[in-house]
Each structure stands twice: as structure tokens, then as C-alpha cells.
């Protein structure tokens, strides 16, 4: 039955590019983003780069399915499919399956199934197929997508947003949600690019104010933290938005007046910020509404000239530049011991990679950023599309493959985020 249904849909899907959201449809059901089809033999040829046709993937699926005994598969109980098979598939694959029939669409859209799917995906610490999103300042109508596990590049269209994408600025990404800021008004837009759902939050704040968002799967809600006031972006004022109450509220003030870096990773109910020199690590706990000043690590004979924080859900890491007279000589990774609130040095970046990375950034340390991405720590500079990856479990370094969708003239204005595609945010 599945094979016949896929055949009926083949003509409809043949015109849809892989890694592409159609801008002509306003319905999430008609917007399909397909990932690698699970369960196919390794010999099956699935080229996942943008421009390939889904029809080829469907043909491979049909060809493999026809080689199986239909008398066996037609006897598969539906509850096994609903409980033991579909919840284990990635979100992008389920988007394809929603178009097979109305029954499957209603099943996948049901809250109980989405909860089960999210729980099963959450149990997979690694291998959940998160994506790296690359935004370019000169091209905000879409973003580039890199799948680390598949080693493939793709394109994610943002044309479904009913506004001029060039007035939007990406400020934060959490789980399956993206937070944009309107360049003129300062209001925020939250969207789920998988389901094409979006919402505008009207709030006026200074353009340079750090904005941090976190999506909490258990409560099916998101929170946004903003520091700075309308009159002073370096003010100690702090406000917090909760999607459950749909209200902004006053939060605890910063312990002192300082400039916070824009990136703020989230781990165990706490946002972590780094400041400009003198370098501090400030942590804000949402439940206790308390700011904590964590001392920066020290190294004999050297001082911190650059620092950025990353978190992977379990650990908090500090990527620090060590040097003398304001010049970075080496880059090191530190891990926070949460009980003692002390930093433990994990490793130093190899000298060859360190020199290449710093030269790529023209020794302008304020443009250096880092993010945590599953089992990786990603280091990049906003002036270059190159990204250096550190695999935590193996302790290895390697460079991200070059994006094939960038023009030969690679000007600056790059920003990177870790994105976990999900069908559930914005239920």
C-alpha cells in the first residue's frame, strides 16, 4: 500500500527540489524538506545536494520496496508503524510522509505523536541530525544548511515570512526556532522554518542589545532574555519574555554595567555571557532570577585576550585566546566544573591551525565566535565563511567543507547557528 501511495505522489513531488521550501504555498503540509531516507541499502544512490530531484529518491525507495515481499509488508500492524517506526525518523523525513495520505498527515500532526517523536529524538544524545545554519548579511532571503552527519550542503528558503527579509536580522536560534529582529522597529519575529509558523513580538529596544532565546521542549514554550534599555544599550536593565504568559517582565539587573557579547549559550536553565575586557563570564539562571559572576580562568605568564562561551546541553566550554600585550598566541578550550565554578583546561589548539584561523580573522578578535553543535565546538569569524570544527568525543580538529552556494566574492557578514529541526515548536 505504501508503494502505491508513493507512486501516486511521485508526480506531485517531482518538481520540488531537495533542501528547498516552496514559496508558492502557505500551508506547511505542502512545504516539504526531505532528509536521507532511512532504511535504504548503502548501495542506494541518494545525492542530497540542492538541485537534485525528490523523484530520484522516491524512485530508489520504490525500487527497493518492490524487491521486498509485499505479502509481508501489507500485514504490518498500523500500531507498530505509528509507535515503533515513524517516531524514530527525523523531522525532515516526516515532512515527506505527511504528503502520502490524509491519514498519515493527521497522525504526524497530532500532539500525541509529536510528543512521542520528540521524546524519541531527545533520547538520542548524538546522531539527532542537527544542522548548521549559515546566514549571510547580504542575502537574508535564505540561509545555507550543512548536515555534519551527511556531510552535505543545502539551502533553506525564508520566503514564507510575510515581510521583506532584508529588514530582518538573525539574533538567536534555539532548538527548532529562529529569532529575528526588525532592523528599524526593534521588534522580534519568532519562526519555525520547518512548519513555516511565525509570530511577531512587539518590543522596542536598542539595536545592540544582546538577545538570547531558549526553547524548552518539556513546557513547549520559549523564553527570550534582553539586556539594555531603550535609552542605553549598555544599561544593567534586563527583561524576560515567556511564551506561556505571552508577556514581558522585569528581570534581575546585571551585577555591573558592561558590554555583553551577543552569543549566549544555554545549559541547565542558565544563560552564559562573556563580556568585553576585562573579561568576565556572567551567568543568568531563569528559575532563580539571579546573575552570577564566574571568574575567568588564569594561565601563568599569559592573560586572556579573547573569550567566548559554548554549551552542548551538558557541559559549558570556554574558548579563550591566550597571549601577551593584547596579541593572541594560542587558543585553548576550558570546561566549567559546575560545583566549584572553576575552569579546567581541556586542550590547546594545534599551532598550525591556530595560526591559520587567526590569520583568517586578521587578528581582529572581536569577530571571533563559537557555538556548540551536538558533539562539536565550531569556531568561526564573521568576516569569513570558513569554520573550524572540534569533535569533543574524539579530540580531533578539521575544517568544514566549503559551501558550494557562495559566490566567488566572499564578503563578510557571516553568522552561524546550531539548528535542530523539529515539528513541535509552536503547537
Question: Where in the chain are the domains?
Answer: 2-122
- Distance, in Å, from the CA atom of 405 to the CA atom of 63, rounded to the nearest integer, reads 31
CA distances from 359 to 152, 332, 349, 413 (A): 27, 17, 14, 17
Q: What is the average per-residue pLDDT within 42-58?
A: 37
Stretch 407-412: mean pLDDT: 68
Confidence band (pLDDT; 50, 70, 90) for 232? Answer: low
What is the band of 285 on the pLDDT scale with cuts at 50, 70, 90?
A: very high
Give the CA angle between residues 247, 372, 255 to the nearest 5°: 50
Among 35-39, 304-308, 414-418, the range scoring the smallest mean pLDDT is 35-39
Q: Which pLDDT belongs to residue 310?
A: 93
pLDDT for 327: 80
Average pLDDT over residues 231-260: 86
> What integer best gives the mean pLDDT of the chain?
77
pLDDT tops 50 at residue 28: no
Confidence of residue 390 (pLDDT cuts 50, 70, 90): very high
* pLDDT value, residue 56: 46
pTM: 0.77
**Tell me: the pLDDT tens digits for 104-147?**
888 888 888 887 877 776 666 444 567 899 998 777 778 899 98
Amino acid at each position: 500500500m505504501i508503494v502505491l501511495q508513493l507512486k501516486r505522489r511521485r508526480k506531485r513531488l517531482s518538481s520540488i527540489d531537495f533542501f528547498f521550501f516552496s514559496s508558492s504555498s502557505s500551508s506547511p503540509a505542502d512545504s516539504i524538506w526531505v532528509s536521507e531516507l532511512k532504511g535504504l541499502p548503502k548501495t542506494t544512490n541518494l545525492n542530497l545536494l540542492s538541485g537534485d530531484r525528490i523523484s530520484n529518491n522516491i524512485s530508489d525507495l520504490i525500487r527497493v520496496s518492490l524487491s521486498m515481499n509485499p505479502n509481508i509488508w501489507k500485514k504490518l500492524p498500523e500500531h507498530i508503524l505509528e509507535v515503533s517506526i515513524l517516531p524514530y525518523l527525523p523531522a525532515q523525513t516526516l515532512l515527506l510522509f505527511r504528503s502520502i495520505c490524509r491519514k498519515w498527515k493527521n497522525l504526524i500532526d497530532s500532539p500525541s505523536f509529536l510528543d512521542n517523536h520528540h521524546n524519541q529524538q531527545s533520547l538520542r544524545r548524538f546522531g539527532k541530525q542537527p544542522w548548521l545554519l549559515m546566514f549571510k548579511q547580504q542575502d537574508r532571503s535564505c540561509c545555507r544548511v550543512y548536515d555534519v552527519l551527511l556531510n552535505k550542503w543545502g539551502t533553506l528558503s525564508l520566503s514564507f515570512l510575510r515581510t521583506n527579509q532584508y529588514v530582518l536580522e538573525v539574533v538567536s536560534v534555539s532548538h527548532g526556532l529562529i529569532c529575528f529582529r526588525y532592523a528599524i522597529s526593534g521588534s522580534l519575529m519568532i519562526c519555525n522554518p520547518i512548519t513555516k509558523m511565525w509570530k511577531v513580538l512587539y518590543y522596542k529596544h536598542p539595536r545592540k542589545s544582546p538577545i538570547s532565546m531558549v526553547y524548552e521542549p518539556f513546557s513547549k514554550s520559549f523564553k527570550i532574555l534582553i539586556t539594555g534599555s531603550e535609552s542605553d544599550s549598555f544599561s544593567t536593565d534586563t527583561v524576560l519574555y515567556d511564551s506561556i504568559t505571552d508577556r514581558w517582565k522585569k528581570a534581575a539587573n546585571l551585577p555591573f554595567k558592561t558590554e555583553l557579547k551577543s552569543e549566549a549559550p544555554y545549559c541547565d536553565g542558565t544563560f552564559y555571557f562573556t563580556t568585553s575586557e576585562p573579561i568576565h563570564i556572567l551567568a543568568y539562571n531563569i528559575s532563580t532570577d539571579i546573575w552570577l559572576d564566574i571568574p575567568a580562568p588564569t594561565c601563568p605568564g599569559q592573560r586572556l585576550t579573547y573569550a567566548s562561551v559554548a554549551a552542548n546541553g551538558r557541559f559549558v566550554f570556554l574558548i579563550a585566546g591566550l597571549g601577551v600585550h593584547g596579541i593572541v598566541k594560542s587558543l585553548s578550550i576550558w570546561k566549567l566544573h559546575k560545583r566549584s565554578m572553576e575552569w579546567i583546561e581541556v586542550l590547546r589548539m594545534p599551532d598550525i591551525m591556530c595560526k591559520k584561523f587567526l590569520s583568517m580573522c586578521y587578528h581582529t578578535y572581536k569577530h571571533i565566535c563559537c557555538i556548540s553543535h551536538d558533539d562539536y565546538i565550531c569556531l568561526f569569524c564573521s568576516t569569513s565563511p570558513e569554520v573550524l570544527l572540534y569533535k569533543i568525543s574524539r579530540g580531533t580538529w578539521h575544517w568544514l567543507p566549503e559551501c558550494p552556494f557562495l559566490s566567488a566574492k566572499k564578503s563578510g557578514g557571516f553568522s552561524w547557528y546550531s539548528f535542530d529541526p523539529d515539528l513541535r515548536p509552536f503547537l
